[in-house]
Amino acid sequence: MAITDNYKRITPVTSMGTPELAYFVVDMGEDVESNYTASNSLYSQAVQALQLKTDLYMVSVPDGSIFTFAARVSSVPGAEAGATSGTIPSLGTDISEFVSDKVVTNISILNGGTANDVGDEFEYRHANFATPLRVRVTSSNSGVATGVSIVNSGIWTDGDNLPANTNAAGFTRVQVAAGVDSNGANLQINLNTWGLSNVVVYNANIVGGSLVWNDD
Q: Residue by residue, what is the 3-state secondary structure of 69-113?
A: EEEEHHHCCCCCCCCCCCECHHHHHHHHHHCCCCCEEEEEEEECC
Average pLDDT of the segment spanning 77-98: 90
Is domain 104-193 annotated with CATH 2.60.120? no
45: helix, coil or strand? helix
Would the pLDDT of 18 be above 90?
no
DSSP-derived secondary structure for 1-36: -EE---EEESSPPPTT-PPPEEEEEEE-SS--STTT
**Which of 62-71, 138-147, 192-201 has the highest average model confidence (pLDDT)?**
138-147
Rounded CA-CA distance 41/130 in Å is 7
- Between 13-17, 23-27, 34-38, 165-169, the lowest mean confidence (pLDDT) is in 13-17
Amino acid 60 reads S
pLDDT at 123 (0 to 100)? 97
CA separation, residue 175 to residues 39, 100, 125, 127, 205 (Å) = 24, 28, 11, 18, 42
- For 147-160, what is each residue's pLDDT tens digit? 999 988 888 888 88
Domain with CATH 2.40.10 in the chain: 104-193
Would the pLDDT of 114 be above 50?
yes
Q: Comparing 145 with 97, which gets the higher pLDDT? A: 145
pLDDT at 153 (0 to 100)? 84
Pairing relation of β-strands 129-131 and 104-111?
unpaired
Rounded CA-CA distance 9/169 in Å is 41
Portion of the chain with pLDDT greater than 90, in percent: 59
Q: Tell me which residue of 99, 93, 69 sits closest to 199, measured CA to CA.
A: 93
**Which of 33-37, 78-82, 185-189, 194-198 has the highest average model confidence (pLDDT)?**
185-189
Average pLDDT of the segment spanning 124-151: 94
Would the pLDDT of 14 be above 50?
no
pLDDT at 2 (0 to 100)? 40
DSSP designation for 128: T
Rounded CA-CA distance 71/205 in Å is 12
pLDDT at 71 (0 to 100)? 94
